[in-house]
Chain A
Amino acid sequence: EAQVTQNPRYLITVTGKKLTVTCSQNMNHEYMSWYRQDPGLGLRQIYYSMNVEVTDKGDVPEGYKVSRKEKRNFPLILESPSPNQTSLYFCASSRATDYGYTFGSGTRLTVV
């Protein structure tokens, strides 16, 4: 089944403890992206990648890192999480900009 898989689905962590949210897609898509969803703010793009080893900042990249060492994986790294990064995170992939994204099921992160 064609899909975008994120792990974990839920995560509670403490301020400053490094964490990684994994994202994998099995559709051979070139484009991958990370979003955070917050009440009243909708979805905001954190980082995106147009191909292996090609990444760029979205609208809210501060406090996040990404890497794209292989086509299928696009992990999101929080080196030193803070409470304002408590949010619902979505990974997504697409084969072209005009095709629209396939989204993962989300990761709900709480930083205390």
Chain B
Amino acid sequence: AQRVTQPEKLLSVFKGAPVELKCNYSYSGSPELFWYVQYSRQRLQLLLRHISRESIKGFTADLNKGETSFHLKKPFAQEEDSAMYYCALSRSYNTDKLIFGTGTRLQVFP
């Protein structure tokens, strides 16, 4: 069965510290993976797509098929990064089922 696991419910760091939000997935095919962010009282926004290999707001994520992981990283956390982060997996062929992890709340202290 397809599943997305975000093992940490809460991650607290100080401003300037490195951040790694963990995401592991289970899927037998070729997944499409995403990170979404939800700031307080705002709608979910797409942060990253693995297929584009981009860096957004200093965040990067690398797909590791061997470890079935898609961890989100940022070298120096900022207070405005405080938000809820969701990892999501989509099957790529003939369907639009998108499965979300349960989310990790990132708190960045000054």
Contacts and interface: CB of A to CB of B under 8 A. Distances in A.
A48 B100 contact: no
B44 A99 contact: no
Interface string A31-46: 1010100001111110
Contacts of A42: 86, 100-103
Contacts, number: 64
Interface string B55-79: 0000000000000000000000000
- Consensus secondary structure, chain A interface: strand
Q: Is the interface of B mostly helix, strand, loop or mixed?
A: strand
A59 interface: yes
A100 B34 contact: yes
Contacts of B102: 40-42
Given A43-B86, A48-B96, A58-B97, A104 B49 contact: no
A35 B88 CA distance: 13
Interface residues of B, number: 24
A33 B96 contact: yes
Contact of A101 (B46, B97, B101, B103): B46
B44 A98 contact: no
A104 B45 CA distance: 10
B32 interface: yes
A98 B90 contact: yes
Interface of B: 32, 34, 36, 42-46, 49, 51, 86, 88, 90-92, 95-103
Given A48-B98, A97-B95, A100-B34, 14 more contacts: A31-B96, A35-B100, A42-B100, A43-B86, A45-B98, A49-B96, A50-B95, A97-B91, A98-B90, A99-B49, A100-B36, A102-B46, A104-B43, A105-B43
Interface of A: 31, 33, 35, 40-45, 48-50, 56, 58-59, 90, 92, 94, 97-106
28 contacts: A33-B96, A33-B98, A40-B102, A41-B102, A42-B86, A42-B100, A43-B44, A43-B86, A44-B100, A45-B100, A48-B96, A48-B97, A49-B96, A58-B97, A59-B97, A90-B43, A90-B44, A97-B91, A98-B51, A98-B92, A99-B49, A100-B34, A100-B46, A100-B49, A101-B36, A101-B46, A105-B42, A106-B43
